[in-house]
Amino acid sequence: MKIIILDDSLTVRIILESFLEDLGVRDEEMHSFEYGQDALDFIDANGTDLVFSDINMPKMSGQEFAQALFAKHERLKSSFFAISGDESRSSYREMKESGVHRFLKK
């Protein structure tokens, strides 16, 4: 299994990795990225099974990342989790419009 963790916060990436390790996910199955384009490049080259993506990030937002990802890998819609500390309805609405329907609060 390949799992993508995309968040501009190193702390959040480490916490998610630790949580997944506690669930039995091996270190080599997790791939963490600070920037959306780096995650997209990895997925294009290697594929993935599960994606955790922050919503509010510099350079490429979570919405932009989801749109670019789903344009090439539509099957990942069912295994994409948006994560955010921003609880505004507009953020969730925008992500839903991009095809994201699973959300986790930080």
Residue ranges of domains in the chain? 3-105
* Among the listed residues 56, 62, 59, 58, the one whose alpha carbon sits nearest the alpha carbon of residue 4: 62
**pTM for this entry:** 0.89
CATH of domain 3-105: 3.40.50.2300
pLDDT at 86 over 90: no
- Which pLDDT score is estimated for 26? 94
Split at pLDDT 50, 70, 90, the class of 10 is very high
Q: Can you tell me whether residue 4 is helix, strand or coil?
A: strand
Asked whether the predicted pLDDT for residue 94 surpasses 80, the reply is no
Confidence (pLDDT) at 19: 95
